[in-house]
């Protein structure tokens, strides 16, 4: 599915800015921060970018991961996420040398058993270390 179809299928209006953001995020399962996205996107201002990422997250198009420095990073969802529910149950890898955050699509997070009366609505597992390029 191309970016425009993806945006439309999640009930959002197609705009050139939204297409550009989604195409920029779409590569290699990398989770990018605002600071990394801004220079690539050029003309899209900060507030627009903030809103687009917010809308995308709510629509189930991207998921957010917080890296080891507390910075929010965004990656494209590939698990049929919906407006109600994100289904990204993969592990994230945060490289301590180049600071890249990667979606490990094929590595599922371990199910954490909870005490009675607790419900899981989300879970994040981040592994820290050296990526392929830094090793
Ligand atoms: Zn998702
Ligand atoms: Zn690295
Ligand atoms: Zn991910």
- The reported pTM is 0.90
Is it the case that residue 79 has pLDDT exceeding 80? no
- Ligand 2 centroid to Cα of residue 126, in Å, is 14
Q: Which DSSP category does 17 fall into?
A: H
- Do 122 and 86 form a contact (C-beta atoms < 8 A)? yes
Asked if 77 and 61 touch (Cβ cutoff 8 Å), the reply is yes
- Span from the CA of 82 to the centroid of ligand 2 (angstroms): 31
Q: Which tens digits make up the pLDDT trace of 24-77?
A: 998 778 999 999 999 989 889 999 999 999 999 999 999 999 998 999 999 999
CB 107 within 8 A of CB 90: yes
Lowest-pLDDT choice from 17-21, 41-45, 97-101 = 41-45
* Positive/negative CA dihedral, 73, 92, 107, 121: negative
CA of 43 relative to ligand 1 center, distance in Å: 27
Among residues 17, 58, 15, 59, the alpha carbon closest in space to that of 40 is found at 17
């Amino acid at each position: 599915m191309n970016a425009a179809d993806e945006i439309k299928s999640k009930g959002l209006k197609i705009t050139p800015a939204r297409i550009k953001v989604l195409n920029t995020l779409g590569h290699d399962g990398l989770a990018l921060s605002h600071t990394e996205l801004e220079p690539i996107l050029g003309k899209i201002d900060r507030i627009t970018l903030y809103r687009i990422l917010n809308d995308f997250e709510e629509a189930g198009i991207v998921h957010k991961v917080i890296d080891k420095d507390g910075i929010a990073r965004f990656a494209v969802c590939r698990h049929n996420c919906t407006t109600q529910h994100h289904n990204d149950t993969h592990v994230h890898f945060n490289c301590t040398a180049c600071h890249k955050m990667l979606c490990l699509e094929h590595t599922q997070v371990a199910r954490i058993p909870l005490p009675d009366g607790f419900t899981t609505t989300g879970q994040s597992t981040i592994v820290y270390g050296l990526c392929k390029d830094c090793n």
